[in-house]
Amino acid sequence: MSVRERERRIVIVVSDDGAGFLIDGETSGFGLAGMRERVAFADGELEVETTPGEGTLVRVTLPAARAEAAGEPSVADTG
């Protein structure tokens, strides 16, 4: 797993070398659908790369919102 800030965006990458899955296959839950909904709500992007038998990579890109930019006190201001 990695979390990086790049060009005012937060990029989160999670990968494994597990079983993988079919993106368009039937599921019994709301895992990917829920992730897509939450990421979209945060004005972000979700990418999923997976192949059965070869693992999965999930990349989430979100806008980086700084406390100072949002009108919140910074750590230096709370001291």
76 neighbors 53 (Cβ within 8 angstroms): no
Summarised one tens digit per residue, pLDDT across range 23-74 is: 776 767 778 889 999 999 999 999 999 988 899 999 999 999 776 655 665 5
* Contact (Cβ atoms closer than 8 angstroms) between residue 62 and residue 44: yes
Which domains, from first to last, does the chain contain? 2-68 (3.30.565.10)
CA-based torsion, 33, 9, 14, 74: positive or negative: negative
**Residue 25: what pLDDT?**
66
pLDDT of residue 67: 64
pLDDT band, residue 78 (cuts 50/70/90): very low
Give the global pTM.
0.74
Q: What is the pLDDT of residue 79?
A: 45
> What pLDDT does residue 20 have?
87
